[in-house]
């Protein structure tokens, strides 16, 4: 997943870019769809570079799949 592509899709869906480097806050992220989970949020935090893998306790088994899910939900 391309970071800029995902960041732009998230902004278009949420109109939120309040967190570092223009990423959305968790409230706006979870407003995208009830299908999003904490696992998706943690995958995004890892992808954004906010956290190290060791700092996250609820990562999905396949982070890339989670990022694709997030991106697709932004397109709806």
pTM of the complete model: 0.95
pLDDT in tens, 12-62: 999 999 998 999 999 999 999 999 999 999 999 999 999 999 999 999 999
For residue 58, the model assigns a pLDDT of 97
Collapsing DSSP to helix, strand or coil, 12 comes out as: helix
For residue 72, the model assigns a pLDDT of 98
For residue 20, the model assigns a pLDDT of 84
For 42-63, give the secondary structure using H, E and C: HHHHHHHCCCCHHHCCCCCCCH
Collapsing DSSP to helix, strand or coil, 23 comes out as: strand
Residue 41 host element (H or E): helix 38-48
Residue 59 contacts residue 53 (beta carbons within 8 Å): yes
């Amino acid at each position: 997943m391309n970071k800029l592509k995902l960041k732009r899709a998230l902004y278009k869906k949420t109109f939120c870019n309040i967190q570092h480097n223009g990423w959305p806050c968790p409230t706006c992220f979870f407003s995208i769809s009830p299908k999003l989970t904490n696992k998706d949020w943690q995958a995004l935090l890892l992808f954004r570079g906010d956290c190290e893998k060791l700092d996250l306790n609820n990562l999905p088994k396949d982070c890339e799949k989670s990022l694709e899910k997030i991106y697709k939900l932004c397109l709806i």
